Structure 1
Amino acid sequence: MLEDTDERSDESDAVDAHGDEVATGGKQPTDNDAEDRPANGDAADSPVDGESNDNRPADDDREDEAVVETESSSMPSVPDTEPEASDVPEDVQKYARFTKMDGAQYERVNEFLRDRTYITAREWAIARLCSDFRTETGVEMTKIGENLPELVPFMTDTYTPQAVNQARSSFEEKVRTAGATFLYGAMCDFFTAEELDDVMYESTEVAKFLLEVEGVDLSVEDELEAEERISSVMRDVREASEQLREEDDA
């Protein structure tokens, strides 16, 4: 199980679009989703109207157990000294993502994501790195794992290539599962068109904030284009849903 070994004396704040604090203070975090997960009974996971949490997917728990097994058996420990600059690949030295998260602590980043998304801080960081370090022959997972602390400020230990691959796969699986859940909610006539618009607006704002934190420069034109694509897809979903319901009623 990964533990942060480098306590930071300086604190810095990363504030989301609504003024929420993301990344300061608190006990030194561990790169451990099981410990970072809110306990049953927290507001985000508390049952509503007599419903229980028994049906909540257990994928995260299985993922954590697999990561622990992988990391405890083969994960190298953090060196006592910083690596020499010459030992760090040039593209890693020039990597400029997540610079707005300098001073951030894993626990606070993970808490922020847990409140707004289905992914963990580890999965968020590694998914972005896998995208940026993709080559024609695949993803440079060894480079990502060995240089993780230099690439992402709130990650303070190295990863094996297997652990990197597992985090990437977990991210992909969660995106697909969340997408299916959302589309079902949109097509089953549970939400009104106005309510779906609200859901899409909130989701878009969170996604834009995460991209901005990563250092992605979104122009107004890019934002409008993305919102129009999403709106177009949602119109198609609503029309298809109405057509299916009409056929069932016929």
Structure 2
Amino acid sequence: MSEDQGAASGTSESVDRDGTDDREPVDEGRPDEATTSGEAGNGKAAGDGSDSGKADDDGKTASDEAGEEATEREGADSSEVPPDVRKYERFKKMDGAQYDRVNEFLRDRTYITAREWAIARLCADFRTETGVEMTKIGENLPELVPFMTDTYTPQAVNQARHSFEGKVTKAGATFLYGAMSGFFTAEDVDEMMYEVTEIAKFLLEVEGVDLDVEDELEAEERISSVMREVRESSQRVRGEEVRCPECGHVHEVSGDEDPGE
């Protein structure tokens, strides 16, 4: 599904700075379950015109009965939530967070939106042997992620996941090109790696991942090692030949010569 397709019908319009659709479905006006015809605003028990504080034959007042009915509804709603959704512990550190604040934080530091971040994580966690449980994710989105307030259609879930994957691919290509192009020194690349690693670790911690110090240091060393190999390989590639983009002429470049000169 292309990124410019609508996330779901009845959504509020909000377009990201890079043109990606970042819309969150809005409530289309569900009826208030707490009120029914003839009962709203009169302070009386339904049907008999008696005062709400007056007890019935069983010694219960109308307000007692209303409270019991509300409790029963809440119990029924809770039983409809799948067990794996109720036990889902990701994003619990963000209880009370607002979508706009989370989105602003991400957009200042990454290319992804809060919607794409949350749904990409859910798609990874709710993947089965036959695929991703798009319907379960969409229907239970507010239960799974504190800063998501509305449900999504399976199509909207798929669109957000596709958007996340596309942005990660583009960001990866941009970074690797910068690292391989010779525009930055080895020290510059190390500094960038440190900064982006810190942001990535923070997001993982917010999701509820406990990072062991030893594992963290090992991962950083492995990443740095890979980046050193990438840089060395790119230097050899750039030193083997340089093709002029204007005439197509290929000329040799010595290993000590700066490609930018």
Q: Under a length normalisation based on structure 1, what TM-score does the superposition of the two structures give?
A: 0.71
The answer to whether the aligner puts 1:201 opposite 2:205 as a matched pair is: no
In structure 2, the CA distance between the partners of 1:224 and 1:204, relative to structure 1 (3 Å rule), is same
Q: Are the counterparts in 2 of residues 212 and 218 from structure 1 also a CA contact under 8 Å? A: yes
Q: 1:197 to 1:178 in 2, by over 3 A?
A: same
| CA contact 1:141–1:161 (8 Å) conserved in 2 | yes
The separation in 1 between residues aligned to 2:177 and 2:87, in whole angstroms, is 42
The CA deviation at 1:136 is 0.7
> What are the Cα deviations for residues 128-171 of structure 1, in whole angstroms up to 9, with x where unaligned?
00011011111001000000000000000000000000100110
The CA deviation string for residues 17-65 of structure 1, in whole angstroms up to 9 with x for no partner, is: xxxxxxxxxxxxx97652xx46xxxxxxxxxxxxxxxxxx54x1xx34x
Partner of 2:162: 169
- C-alpha change, 1:33 and 1:113, in structure 2 (3 Å) is farther
Could you say what the CA RMSD is over the residues aligned between the two structures, in angstroms?
A: 2.5
From the superposition, tell whether residues 111 and 31 of structure 1 become closer, same or farther in structure 2 (CA, over 3 Å).
farther
Mapped to 1, the partners of 2:88 and 2:212 lie a distance apart of 21
Give the distance between the partners of 2:154 and 2:102, measured in 1 at CA.
23
1:173 alignment partner, SS class: helix
Which is higher, the Rg of structure 1 or of structure 2?
A: 2
Instruction: Give 4+ residue runs of structure 1 displaced > 3 Å after superposition.
Output: 30-33, 75-83
Residue 225 of structure 1: CA displacement?
A: 2.1
Paired residues, number: 194
Q: Give the SS at the match of 1:217.
A: coil
Query: Does 1:214 find its partner at 2:207?
Result: yes
Contact between 1:95 and 1:151, CA under 8 Å: does it hold in 2? yes
Q: Whole-Å Cα distance in 2 between the matches of residues 200 and 77 of structure 1?
A: 47
Identify which of structures 1 and 2 has the higher relative contact order when contacts are C-alpha pairs closer than 8 Å and 6+ apart. 1
Q: Kindly provide the amino acid, as one letter, of the partner of residue 132 in structure 1.
A: D
Identity %: 73
1:189 aligns with 2:182: yes
Which secondary structure state, in structure 2, belongs to the residue aligned with residue 157 of structure 1?
coil
Q: Match of 1:226?
A: 219
Offset from partner CA, 1:41-93 (integer Å, 9 cap, x none)? xxxxxxxxxxxxxxxx54x1xx34xx68xx68xx9766756771101001000
Change (3 A) 1:79 1:118: farther
Q: Which runs of 5+ in 2 are unaligned?
A: 1-5, 34-73, 242-252, 255-261
Q: Going by fraction, where is helix more abundant, 1 or 2?
A: 1
